[in-house]
Amino acid sequence: MPYEWNFAIVLKYLPNLLEGGAHTIALSAASIALATPIGIVMGIIRQQRIPYLAPIAVVYIDFFRTSVALVLICWCYYALPVLIRVNLDTFTAVMIAIGLQASAYMAELVRAGMQSISPGQWEAARALGMPGHTRLRYIILPQAARRMIPLFFLLMVEVVKTTTLAGVVTYPEIVYDAFRVATEIYRPIETFTIVGLICFVFLFTLGRIALYLERRFAVVER
Amino acid sequence: MPYVWDFNFLLQLGPLLLAGLANTAKLWAVALAFGLAIGLVMGIFRSAPSAILRGIGTVYVEAIRNTPGLVQLIWFFYAIPILTGLQSSAWLASAVSLSLYTGAYSAEIYRAGIASVEAGQWEAARALGFGYRDQMRYVVLPQALMRMIPAFGNRAIELAKATTLASTIAFGELLYTAKTIAEDQLRPLETYTAITLIFTAVLLPVSYLCVRLERRVARNNGGAPRD
């Protein structure tokens, strides 16, 4: 007997899934908000080879770049509270885990962006007698930012995908809510098909924005 | 009173952790082998002259890359028994879903690698009387593969990270084993710290190796034609 698909019943629970989706987005936004400043600072420190700080940045970036998101989430939720003796709610624990990991990717993105500015720009700024931070602020970073923004959107795509892991520590994001709906109506495949479609529409759009920005900024540079 | 760290119980439970690590390795190896094979086919589809083949490749790659790996894994976990009648199994669902996941990302590596071979190579092969299949098989792919190796290394690292997803459907890999131990021994701090360090100890050296390979490949042909 072939399986009878029934999407109608899942669609009745669409508001539940979308509420989970809203939590997913909130968590992603918080993680990005944490990752961006740390990432920019770490990236600049590493690229500028600032004495004493640069090796720390390298260890930080390489550690979080090669660590596993789900392991970090479990560590922040189950282990960190034992260490600091403060109970963290699921949102904070996951935000710290994903935010720190994303900050390492962000740092690499900033470094690559700054590296891609031709040496002539650095030299010209120095020839004008600009001090270090002015060179960065007015010459290098504005140009690097243009190359970094499309990649920033791709980083956002990765962060959103990673936040679906938050359900593992019971944060009510989209996958967690989907499990609840699926158990209630005994329709796991249909539920997760719909969840997949919701994620696809959202992430595909973000990806297209990245592509559009990349083309647009490429025109400016010519 | 500061927290007293105690790793002794983990040493005693070493065999359990090793069994978990072995399951992680098994899942990684199977998904990598199948993923690279699927990726090769789909990467060639994505570069094919036929619009239909290109369409199939594009739909597959976009569908996998724009949905979270966890959603794919859970989907296969429930869908495999219903669609194929096979018994539901965490191992099968993990292996299938991670293979398809790796396949989509490696298809893009193959596609970019094939695209990086300059048109002159195709033309020269055609001038020698090679058909499309032979141009790909004997002229384009061998040159492209060398350039792809560092990217495949990074893919292998990402796949090793993704194997931890299987813990959510109770496949007994490293993270799942750790979870059981942490609950059993009431020592989450030591257990999860140890798991974090094990992953870093394995993946960080591999990551450095990939960076070195990348530099070497860039030096050897710079992705550009040599005279």
Nearest alpha-carbon partner for B179 in B92, B28, B166, B161: B166
Residue type, A157: V
Q: What percent of chain A has pLDDT over 90?
A: 77
Contact call for residues B96 and B84 (beta carbons, < 8 A): no
Residues of B in contact with A69 (CB under 8 A): 161
Residue A72 pLDDT level (bands cut at 50, 70, 90): very high
pLDDT digits (tens, 9 = 90+) for A174-196: 999 999 999 999 899 999 999 99
Q: Which residue of chain A comes nearest to B182, CA vs CA? A: A78
Asked, for residue A213, whether it belongs to a domain, the answer is yes
The angle that helices A14-47 and A90-115 make with each other, rounded to 10 degrees, is 40
Residue B6 pLDDT level (bands cut at 50, 70, 90): confident
Contact call for residues B153 and A49 (beta carbons, < 8 A): no
Residue B95 pLDDT level (bands cut at 50, 70, 90): very high
What whole-number distance in Å separates Cα of residue B25 and Cα of residue A210?
Answer: 35
Higher pLDDT, B224 or A65: A65
pLDDT at A221: 60
- End-to-end CA distance of chain B: give it in Å, rounded: 70
pLDDT digits (tens, 9 = 90+) for B23-56: 999 999 999 999 999 999 999 999 999 999 999 9
Q: Which residue of chain B comes nearest to A204, CA vs CA? A: B66
DSSP state of B47: T
Domain boundaries, position A176: 8-221
Asked, for residue A188, whether it belongs to a domain, the answer is yes
Residues of A in contact with B188 (CB under 8 A): 78-79, 82
Nearest alpha-carbon partner for B159 in B33, B22, B74, B20: B33
**Assigned token pair, B131:** 């058909």
Mean pLDDT lowest among A10-24, A30-44, A206-220, B47-61: A206-220
Residue from B72, B200, B202 whose CB has the most chain A CBs within 10 Å, to mutate: B200
What whole-number distance in Å separates Cα of residue B168 and Cα of residue A176?
Answer: 11
Q: Which residue has the tokens 């996941």?
A: B101
Calculate Rg over the CA atoms of chain A. 21
Is there a contact between A200 and B67 if contact means CB atoms under 8 Å apart?
Answer: yes
Asked, for residue A18, whether it belongs to a domain, the answer is yes
Nearest alpha-carbon partner for A163 in A67, A81, A87, A99: A99
pLDDT at A216: 87
Asked, for residue A205, whether it belongs to a domain, the answer is yes
For chain A, the residues whose C-beta falls within 8 A of a C-beta of chain B are 3, 62-63, 65-72, 74-75, 78-79, 82-83, 85, 157, 160-162, 164-165, 167-168, 175, 178, 182, 188-189, 192-193, 195-196, 199-200, 203-204, 207
SS3 state of residue B49: coil
Residue B226 pLDDT level (bands cut at 50, 70, 90): very low
Residues of B in contact with A161 (CB under 8 A): 67-69
Q: What is the CATH number of the domain that holds A188?
A: 1.10.3720.10
What whole-number distance in Å separates Cα of residue B74 and Cα of residue A188?
Answer: 9
Over residues B205-218, mean pLDDT: 90
- Note whether B207 contacts A: Cβ–Cβ < 8 A: yes
What whole-number distance in Å separates Cα of residue B176 and Cα of residue B11?
Answer: 17
pLDDT surpasses 70 at A122: yes
Nearest alpha-carbon partner for B31 in B78, B125, B96: B96
SS3 state of residue A106: helix
pLDDT surpasses 50 at B227: no
Residue ranges of domains in chain B, CATH in brackets: 8-221 (1.10.3720.10)
pLDDT at A1: 61
Over residues A162-169, mean pLDDT: 95
pLDDT at B1: 64
Is there a contact between B196 and A193 if contact means CB atoms under 8 Å apart?
Answer: no
Is there a contact between B179 and A74 if contact means CB atoms under 8 Å apart?
Answer: yes
Residue B225 pLDDT level (bands cut at 50, 70, 90): very low
The 10 Å Cβ neighbour count of residue B199 is 21
Residue A52 backbone zone (phi > 0: left; psi -120 to 50: alpha; other: beta): left
Asked, for residue A1, whether it belongs to a domain, the answer is no
Q: Which residue of chain B comes nearest to A168, CA vs CA? A: B168
Asked, for residue A78, whether it belongs to a domain, the answer is yes
What whole-number distance in Å separates Cα of residue B53 and Cα of residue B32?
Answer: 23
Distance from the A143 Cα atom to the nearest Cα atom in chain B, whole angstroms: 25
ipTM computed for the complex: 0.90
Q: Across all residues in chain B, what is the average pLDDT?
A: 91
The angle that helices A53-66 and A14-47 make with each other, rounded to 10 degrees, is 150
- Note whether B216 contacts A: Cβ–Cβ < 8 A: no
User: Residue B204: which of A62, A167, A204 has the nearest Cβ?
Assistant: A62
Task: State how many domains chain A has.
Answer: 1
Asked, for residue A206, whether it belongs to a domain, the answer is yes
Please, how many CA atoms are within 13 Å of residue A174, restricted to the half-sphere of its CB?
32
